[in-house]
Structure 1
Amino acid sequence: MADILSFVFQRFGSQLHAAGDLKLFSHTESSTLVIGDEDINKSLLFLTAVTAASEMGLRVLFFTKNQIQSLPVTVKDLSISLKPDSLKKIRFVYPKTLEELLEDVASLHELVLENAPLPSLLIVDGLEQYVCVQDRPQQDCQSTSAHVVALLHDTAAFLKARSEKSQQPSCRVIVSYQPVWEGRGGDVDAPDPIFLVLERYLQVRCNLHKVMVSGEVQNEWLLYLSGPGLKVDGCGNGEKYPGLQWRVVMQPNGALEFRPENAAKEETSQVQPSDCGNKA
């Protein structure tokens, strides 16, 4: 999935990286966990889905709880570059409950029996809406989260094997999750147990942290990629690489703008506990 994200950042950021930087992780296909608040997560996921369909020719399955009535402002400015049939490559599925989500994902095996076109990208928007149900014991929430991502992983592996036989693109997975420290309540200093479960299965993390300037929250986020699924020369598992960091700015009209991030800035260092690019 990081290979698709790299394409998105390169496509909508002005010269974010030299070609050599992108090659460091352009072929990484690990599943990705997007961590941030609900609004920025949904905007990034939709932009990724449209880009994958319109410019990479991939078929996308987009699971989300709330029905999308119109083209989000995130991509309205890009409509001139969309191919006429590109949005037809995106299928939106609206499971309302955890049981419906599990059933919808499990039923993807039937596409092979039906000889139907196989998806190359599975997106689940807002996993917390399915697993973090009120009055559900914490232990059940953790086991449920593991069940969902394990099923996604197995389904993607099955579709990938079938796709290779038909010479179609491999299937990737991206899941967004809003942890407790991003506004869902709870102790912001305590670890999120569900997040700890998810990161075991989803080997690349796309981290989005709100930017604060002089104590005030800005309408922008620091975005960086990390995790053992990233194949970046010179960096150990789970560590961040300075070339994979951006500022994501949401414009007044809702459009997203990606800007290269200078890792030396004081405000960014507050949310970057490790930086393998600065090792001695």
Structure 2
Amino acid sequence: MADILEVVFRRFASGSDLIFPSHIEGNTLVLGDVNISRSVLFLAAVTAATDLGLKVLFFTQTPFQSLPVSLRASIPGLKLESLKNVKFVYVKTLEELVEDVASLHELASEATSPPSLIIVDGLDHYLHGSRVGPLQDDLSPVAHVAALLHDTAAFITQFLQNRADGQGLCRVMVSFHSESEGSRDNEALAPELLLSVLDRYLQVRCTIDEVKGEGGAGQNEWQVYLSAMCPSRVQQWHMMLRAGGALEFNTVIEEEQQILEQPDDCKQENQRCGDGQ
């Protein structure tokens, strides 16, 4: 949900005189270091729940024993009771994740309001832990869970928009990390194949690249890119981890380009653009 990420980046920006870029919206795939990606997901969940009043469903394999340091430092005084709109669901396997996501359709027919933001922390861990064999040999589990998340969000969106105000929207945000990224062996193709499948259903990428210092050492700084395929848009941000643990964002550049192909060409990309969602 790139519009939520923009709210996050703006809220924790160092200055208030920024010229904010136009919205990039859609279901979002977050790529980058496991720990920093998780911090960004948590900030997104808290911002959606506290600032926007949205209901958030946060799937993760690892329970949170306490608020992350980056969150406590970024939002001083935040207490657990402030997260009443965030429901954490700890599921260990891909099968459990699929079952729980599939059951969300039932919420749309009950009195309980369905979530407006569905977050999956570390989809790669669920996929690699499944019982279907090596991912590079069988991409069907990737396609299945991504399509299920996409269709569930679309179903909930339709339900929310049928309400009186008609303003409802449900989005998906998924983090993914591949240990073999950057490798030069034959398995280097596997991440690209996986990402190509995910791109069909998650229309926006948030790529987090660490800024390396001399000798390749990290400097607690990252370049963050928000990009969408249809139409082609890119936003670039600089993210820094301060000494106290707080995350800070600054806008770097915005590039917005309309795809030059004819509309029919863009329609051929519907699988990657989420059929206009």
Give the TM-score taking structure 2 as reference length.
0.81
Q: Helix, strand or coil for the counterpart of 1:180?
A: coil
Partner residue in 2 for 1:169: 168
The runs of 5 or more residues in structure 2 that have no matched partner are 258-277
Encode CA deviations 1:204-228: one digit per residue, 9 max, x unaligned.
Answer: 1000112112332222211111121
Letter in 2 for 1:216: G
The alignment status of 1:10 with 2:10, answered yes or no, reads yes
Aligned-partner Cα distance in 1 for 2:240–2:223: 9
Q: Helix, strand or coil for the counterpart of 1:201?
A: coil
Q: Give how far 1:48 is off.
A: 0.6
Q: Helix, strand or coil for the counterpart of 2:200?
A: helix
Partner residue in 1 for 2:46: 50
Letter in 2 for 1:14: S
Match of 1:107 among 88, 103, 108: 103
Using a 3 Å threshold, how does the CA distance of structure 1 residues 72 and 83 change in structure 2: closer, same or farther? closer
Q: Give how far 1:91 is off.
A: 0.1
Residues 106, 155 of structure 1: 8 Å contact kept:
yes
Partner residue in 2 for 1:213: 213
The alignment status of 1:254 with 2:235, answered yes or no, reads no
The runs of 5 or more residues in structure 1 that have no matched partner are 232-236, 264-274
Using a 3 Å threshold, how does the CA distance of structure 1 residues 14 and 189 change in structure 2: closer, same or farther? same
CA-based RMSD: 2.8
The alignment status of 1:159 with 2:156, answered yes or no, reads yes
Partner residue in 2 for 1:268: none
Partner residue in 1 for 2:59: 63
Using a 3 Å threshold, how does the CA distance of structure 1 residues 189 and 140 change in structure 2: closer, same or farther? closer
Aligned-partner Cα distance in 1 for 2:152–2:26: 14
Partner residue in 1 for 2:272: none
Q: Give how far 1:175 is off.
A: 0.4
Partner residue in 2 for 1:124: 120
Q: Give how far 1:159 is off.
A: 0.5
Partner residue in 2 for 1:201: 201
Letter in 1 for 2:33: D
Using a 3 Å threshold, how does the CA distance of structure 1 residues 84 and 133 change in structure 2: closer, same or farther? closer
More displaced 10-residue stretch of structure 1: 29-38 or 73-82: 73-82
Q: Helix, strand or coil for the counterpart of 2:105?
A: helix
Residues 41, 121 of structure 2: 8 Å contact kept:
yes
More displaced 10-residue stretch of structure 1: 174-183 or 194-203: 174-183
Q: Helix, strand or coil for the counterpart of 1:210?
A: strand
Residues 93, 129 of structure 2: 8 Å contact kept:
no
Aligned-partner Cα distance in 2 for 1:253–1:38: 20
Partner residue in 1 for 2:89: 93
Q: Helix, strand or coil for the counterpart of 1:67?
A: coil
Letter in 1 for 2:47: T
Letter in 1 for 2:178: P
More displaced 10-residue stretch of structure 1: 206-215 or 157-166: 206-215
Q: Helix, strand or coil for the counterpart of 1:261?
A: strand
